[in-house]
C-alpha cells in the first residue's frame, strides 16, 4: 500500500499578518514537492489571508466546535473555518484535550462536524510521560483511538496523528523502535476497525520533529508523514522536513 506522505505544520497560537511571507515561502516549497501533501494549520484569524498566500500547501484550522452554530462564545464552527478558506482541521490535539478538557467523545463529534462541513481531519492521540513510564502507552493510545475515531471514519478524509505529549515542544523524541511499535499497533487497530480502508489511512508522527530527525522518522514503517509544531513556523526549518518526506 503506497500512502502519499502528509506533512502538516501546526502553528498553534503563533502567527500574525507579518508572518504571511512564511506561508507563501512554505507554499512554494510545497509546490516544488508535489509528491508530498503539505499543509499549514494556522490561527483562525489568519486562515483567509493564508488561503490567498498558500501556493502548493493547504490551509487548515486547529480545532472546531461540534455544533454548526449557537450560543458558544469564542468558538468556531467547521463551516466557519471552511468559509474562511480552510480545507482541513486538526481535532483532539493534546493541548485542546488538556487545556479545554476535551474528551474522546468530544473529539469524535468534532471530527464528524468537520467532515460534514467538507473539511479533512487530522485526529490526534498520544500518551503522557506518566503513562509512557508505566509501560501502558500502547493500550492507552489504542483506547483513545477507539473512542475518538468517529463512526464512518474513512482514509479519504481522516488521518491520525500520534503525538506523545512528552515529546511536544520538548526536543525529545521516542526511539525509532518506540515509534514503530506505536504506529504498527495503531495500523493493526485501524485495520481491525475499518478493514481494508484501515490500511489506506495515514498515520503521522508528531512531537519535536525537526530538520535533523525528519528523514529518519519518515523511514519508520507506518509513519506516513508528520505533524510539526515549532519547526513549521519558518521555511528554513520546515522546508527540509518537507524535502525529507519527498
Min dist CB 124 to ligand 13P, Å, is 7
Residue tagged active-site, from 19, 33, 93, 115 = 93
Q: Is 163 a catalytic residue?
A: yes
- Please identify which of the residues 95, 102, 127, 163 carries the catalytic annotation: 163
Distance, in Å, from the CA atom of 188 to the CA atom of 165, rounded to the nearest integer, reads 22
CA distance 31 to 153: 29
Report d(CA 105, CA 111) in Å as an integer: 10
**Which CB atom, from 176 or from 191, has the smaller least distance to ligand 13P?**
176
Q: What is the DSSP string of 137-188?
A: HHHHHHHHHHHHSPTT--TTTEEEEE--GGGTTTS----HHHHHHHHHHHHH
Active-site residue 93, yes or no? Answer: yes
Q: How far is the CB of 171 from ligand 13P (least distance, A)?
A: 8
Grid cell, residue 69, equals 452554530
* Residues at the site binding ligand 13P, with contacts judged by CB under 6 A: 10, 93, 163, 168-169, 206-209, 227-231
CB 91 to ligand 13P: min, Å? 12
According to DSSP, residue 232 is labeled G
Nearer to ligand 13P, 92 or 150 (CB): 92
* Residue 194 or 241 with smaller CB distance to ligand 13P: 241
Q: Of all residues in this chain, which one has the CB nearest to ligand 13P in the complex?
A: 229
Q: Which residues are catalytic?
A: 93, 163
Amino acid at each position: 500500500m503506497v500512502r502519499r506522505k502528509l506533512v502538516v505544520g501546526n502553528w498553534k497560537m503563533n502567527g500574525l499578518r507579518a508572518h504571511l511571507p512564511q506561508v507563501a515561502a512554505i507554499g512554494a516549497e510545497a509546490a516544488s514537492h508535489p509528491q508530498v501533501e503539505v499543509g499549514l494549520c494556522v490561527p483562525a484569524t489568519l486562515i483567509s489571508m493564508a488561503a490567498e498566500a498558500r501556493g502548493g500547501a493547504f490551509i487548515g484550522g486547529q480545532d472546531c466546535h461540534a455544533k454548526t452554530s449557537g450560543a458558544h462564545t469564542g468558538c468556531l464552527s467547521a463551516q466557519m473555518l471552511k468559509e474562511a478558506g480552510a480545507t482541513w482541521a486538526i481535532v483532539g490535539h493534546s493541548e485542546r484535550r488538556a487545556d479545554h478538557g476535551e474528551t474522546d467523545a468530544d473529539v469524535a463529534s468534532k471530527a464528524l462536524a468537520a467532515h460534514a462541513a467538507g473539511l479533512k481531519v487530522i485526529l490526534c492521540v498520544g500518551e503522557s510521560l506518566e503513562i509512557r513510564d508505566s509501560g501502558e502507552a500502547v493500550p492507552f493510545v489504542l483506547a483513545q483511538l477507539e473512542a475518538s475515531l468517529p463512526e464512518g471514519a474513512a482514509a479519504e478524509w481522516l488521518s491520525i496523528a500520534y503525538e506523545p505529549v512528552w515529546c511536544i515542544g520538548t526536543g525529545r523524541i521516542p526511539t525509532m523502535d518506540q515509534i514503530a511499535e506505536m504506529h504498527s499497533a495503531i495500523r493493526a487497530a485501524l485495520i481491525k476497525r475499518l478493514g481494508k480502508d484501515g490500511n489506506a489511512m495515514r498515520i503521522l508522527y508528531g512531537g519535536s520533529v525537526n530538520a535533523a530527525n525528519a528523514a529518519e522518522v519518515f523511514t519508520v514503517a507506518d509513519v506516513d508523514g508528520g505533524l510539526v509544531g515549532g519547526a513549521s513556523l519558518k521555511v528554513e526549518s520546515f522546508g527540509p522536513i518537507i524535502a525529507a518526506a519527498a
